[in-house]
Chains A and B, each alone.
Chain A
Amino acid sequence: MAAPLTLLLIVGVSIRLFLFRSSLADIIAERVEVVSPLTAWKRVIEGLALLDLGVSPYSGDIFHETPLIIYLFHFVVDYAEITFMLADVITAVALYLAVKDYNTQVLKKQRFELEADRYPMDCLELVRSPTQMYYIPLKVAMVYMLNPFTILSCVAKSTCGLNNAVLGLFFLCTIKKNTMLSAIFLALATYQSIYPITLCAPAMLYIMQRLYIPVNYRWASFWWFVVQYLFIYLGSLFVIICLSFFLLGSWDYIPSVYGFILSVPDLTPNIGLFWYFFAEMFEHFRLFFLCVFQINVFFYTIPLSIKLKEHPVFLMFMQLAVMSIFKSYPTVGDIALYLSLLPLWSHLHRFLRNIFLVTCVLIACSALFPVLWHLWIYSGSANSNFYYAITLLFNVAQILLVSDYFYAFLRREHHLTYGLYLKKKDGSEATLVLK
């Protein structure tokens, strides 16, 4: 499978090269859907220029990147395009390898269950076969590389691409049950934007599953593993933060980066939900609603992980989706990451109910974003409500997508336990609903 992957990578890189050299690169780099105040390339250059003039880049409201990004781009700023293309390639390859390994695990587990006769007779058509799953890794890599969202994000040189690369590597290390590296990459991802902390739970669950540690709070080995993982995670986070102190010799970056992400002072419109709400919020209630919105991101971790503790990779997918939808400054690059994991669940298609609607809405909204932006900002014949409506619709479609997959997944699990054709007590046909 190396050859198709290489071909895919070459195609992806050439598309990006072509777009870098065209005049669209400047237009795309300014679009608010693709760059946010956290990830914009313009701000990175501004921060580096400020540094050359002897001023701390964190003074003022321009630069919100972490010091490690400063360190990286100090040396590669002339080769920025290659860096971002390399980041995309790394993510695609990492996802490819991770999914390949995961498929092997899934098939192994399935074989165990079949031999243990856990599946009722009539649901054998739900059982997956290796031939079905042969092309899934390639599909995952393809969806990531050739996704228009990813291409736009790369051409805009948004540092979201780097974030995605770190998350991809984290995913790879988790699947390869490498505790230390997974914790370290997660710490790096959390260091850059706070939200990946919610991915701790699925990572821990998956590695415990692979190491045959039962997920039960009564077992000592469970707690010992949790302590180990958290120690490495928090320790490396601490080390990285302290190391960043030594780059510029000050703690300025903490309010500039983490304070900015958490307190959302910049209300530039983007595809998220925060800006409109907080633009019209009274000062009195701002803190309250800020807490509500931020808790919303972290809130789904515990219930979902209790429900999906047998299926940590699906939990990871759901966490990534929740993070991309509800984070304070989402961009299309974040969406691209969890969309690329959709081929993993292609076997659920027969249970998906809203997929046509969701696809149409997502495509329509993506097309309408620039239109309504133009109408609002340039023609003056629309106002922010129009743009926010499309944002809202886009996010609703994403949430519908995620919940649809959730429903399909659970339904398949239910069928695998109780049989495909469900009967009520009196023998008539029953249907399954997600309450």
Chain B
Amino acid sequence: MKLPVLFLIFATHFLSGTAHIGKNVGNFFSSQHTNNWAVLVCTSRFWFNYRHVANTLSVYRSVKRLGIPDSHIVLMLADDMACNHRNPKPATVFSHKNMELNVYGDDVEVDYRGYEVTVENFLRVLTGRLPPSTPRSKRLLSDDRSNILIYLTGHGGNGFLKFQDSEEISNVELADAFEQMWQKRRYNELLFIIDTCQGASMYERFYSPNLMALASSQVGEDSLSHQPDLAIGVHLMDRYTFYLLEFLEDIHPASKTNMNDLFKVCPKSQCVSTPGHRTDLFLRDPGSVLITDFFGSVRKVEITTDAINLTEPIEQKQDIAVSEEQEKVQYSYTDQLPVSEIIHQKPKQKDWHPPDGFILGLWTLILLVFFRAYGIKHLKHIF
């Protein structure tokens, strides 16, 4: 029964497609992004924060599975759980108990590890203000047609997120970083997901356009962890990310699932905390935003043999008439020191001479002493 209906739908689409190439062209440009980036950050260290690393790695896994390559993912893990001394199963990080799913895998590329995960590095990655020596794998080389997914997890509070047990990032800093990104045209649309206690406080201060935010708990609520594994000895995942991972496992690159479904992930019955979201800064309707717009790297490719007329022809810009004022003006600094006088080629001239009175007085004294000592009879030899 489904099959003829589907066939009919495909036929109508095909027919309408050929007639309405122009409209499809419009669809072609609907989401307006050409590349996808992901910044996935785990901010906690120590063995008992295993679940935060597992959270980040599961999102990493989903994002990679859906098509974002490692070169477009900046993965920041504050501690190494896979090779931790206390890991009974080295080189693995599990997200489900009974070791069902190893999210560490063979091809995890961690860009910022250990003590490199700091507030400063995170903000520098976001804003792009990195020293010239930073390698490409550590940079977020997004442009104004990039859709960026930012996922943060760790321990947080009302208005802050703790990095590495020693510093915090505040919601104001984060909002300002996003504003910098907007002003530098570093994103087209940005999805911000945070899984911490009181996570909703982190997106309260956003003020830049095209931001959509999700959090695992409201202000005043704690995000809870999901289930411990008795063999490993710690909680493996947080609830919100666990159910997010389950949701994402059903997504494939061609899915048409949209954001409204994402908002329904982990209701209060499963999460105990109330997940929150914020879409007022987002220009498109969340219902029209595909999950794969952020989590995957889906390229829309439509093959056509027809030529497409874009509505407005591109006009050549006229050359601005070069006027005399536009001659290159040579700028140079004025000399701060009289260089030409200091570095002179002339031999050193002693400009100072002792005053004549001094010389006169000195030699008179010397002569007086001489004659007093040796007698006046020498005087006739002088004169």
Same complex origin of A and B: yes
A→B interface (CB under 8 Å)? 51-54, 70-71, 74, 178, 180-181, 184, 239, 243, 246-247, 249
B355 contacts which chain A residues (CB < 8 A)? 246-247, 249
B365 contacts which chain A residues (CB < 8 A)? 239, 243
Contact of A52 among B352, B357, B361, B373 (CB under 8 A): B352
- What number of A-B contacts does a CB cutoff of 8 Å give? 37
CB distance from B378 to the nearest CB of A (A): 15
- Check A184–B354 contact: CB distance below 8 A: no
Contact with A along B43-63 (1 / 0, CB 8 A): 000000000000000000000
For A245, the closest partner residue in chain B by CB is B358
A246 contacts which chain B residues (CB < 8 A)? 355, 357-358, 361
For A247, the closest partner residue in chain B by CB is B358
27 cross-chain CB contacts under 8 A = A51-B352, A52-B351, A52-B352, A53-B351, A54-B351, A54-B352, A70-B354, A71-B354, A71-B358, A74-B350, A74-B352, A74-B354, A180-B369, A180-B372, A180-B373, A181-B373, A184-B369, A239-B365, A243-B358, A243-B361, A243-B362, A246-B355, A246-B357, A246-B358, A247-B355, A247-B358, A249-B355
B348 at the interface (CB under 8 A from A): yes
Known A-B contacts A180-B369, A239-B365; the reply to A247 vs B348 at CB < 8 A is: no
B353 contacts which chain A residues (CB < 8 A)? 74
For A240, the closest partner residue in chain B by CB is B365
- A interface, over-half SS: helix
Q: In the complex, what distance in Å separates the CA atom of A243 from the CA atom of B350?
A: 22
A184 contacts which chain B residues (CB < 8 A)? 369
CB within 8 Å of A: which of B336-379?
348-355, 357-358, 361-362, 365, 369, 372-373
CB within 8 Å of A: which of B115-164?
none
CB distance from B351 to the nearest CB of A (A): 5
For B352, the closest partner residue in chain A by CB is A51
B→A interface (CB under 8 Å)? 348-355, 357-358, 361-362, 365, 369, 372-373
For B342, the closest partner residue in chain A by CB is A53
User: 4 smallest A-B Cβ distances: which pairs?
Assistant: A51-B352, A246-B358, A247-B358, A52-B351
A247 contacts which chain B residues (CB < 8 A)? 354-355, 358
Q: In the complex, what distance in Å separates the CA atom of A98 from the CA atom of B221?
A: 101
Q: In the complex, what distance in Å separates the CA atom of A275 from the CA atom of B353?
A: 37
CB distance from A343 to the nearest CB of B (A): 29
For A51, the closest partner residue in chain B by CB is B352
A180 contacts which chain B residues (CB < 8 A)? 369, 372-373
A178 contacts which chain B residues (CB < 8 A)? 373
A51 contacts which chain B residues (CB < 8 A)? 352
Q: In the complex, what distance in Å separates the CA atom of A54 from the CA atom of B351?
A: 8
CB distance from A5 to the nearest CB of B (A): 23
- Check A52–B369 contact: CB distance below 8 A: no
B358 contacts which chain A residues (CB < 8 A)? 71, 243, 246-247
Q: Most chain-A Cβ atoms within 10 A of its Cβ — which of B351, B352, B353, B355?
A: B352
For A246, the closest partner residue in chain B by CB is B358
CB distance from A187 to the nearest CB of B (A): 11
Q: Most chain-B Cβ atoms within 10 A of its Cβ — which of A51, A70, A71, A246?
A: A246
Given contacts A239-B365, A243-B358, 4 further A-B contacts (CB under 8 A): A54-B351, A70-B354, A246-B361, A247-B354
- Check B362–A71 contact: CB distance below 8 A: yes
B372 contacts which chain A residues (CB < 8 A)? 180
CB distance from A99 to the nearest CB of B (A): 21
For B362, the closest partner residue in chain A by CB is A243
- Check A52–B350 contact: CB distance below 8 A: yes
Q: In the complex, what distance in Å separates the CA atom of A246 from the CA atom of B356?
A: 9
Q: In the complex, what distance in Å separates the CA atom of A135 from the CA atom of B77?
A: 88
Q: In the complex, what distance in Å separates the CA atom of A406 from the CA atom of B365?
A: 40
A74 contacts which chain B residues (CB < 8 A)? 350, 352-354
CB distance from A97 to the nearest CB of B (A): 16
Q: In the complex, what distance in Å separates the CA atom of A133 from the CA atom of B352?
A: 51
Q: In the complex, what distance in Å separates the CA atom of A242 from the CA atom of B83?
A: 84
CB distance from B241 to the nearest CB of A (A): 52
Q: In the complex, what distance in Å separates the CA atom of A126 from the CA atom of B174?
A: 98
Q: In the complex, what distance in Å separates the CA atom of A54 from the CA atom of B353?
A: 11
Q: In the complex, what distance in Å separates the CA atom of A280 from the CA atom of B326?
A: 66
CB distance from B376 to the nearest CB of A (A): 14
Q: In the complex, what distance in Å separates the CA atom of A180 from the CA atom of B353?
A: 31
- Check A52–B348 contact: CB distance below 8 A: yes
Q: In the complex, what distance in Å separates the CA atom of A71 from the CA atom of B353?
A: 9
B369 contacts which chain A residues (CB < 8 A)? 180-181, 184
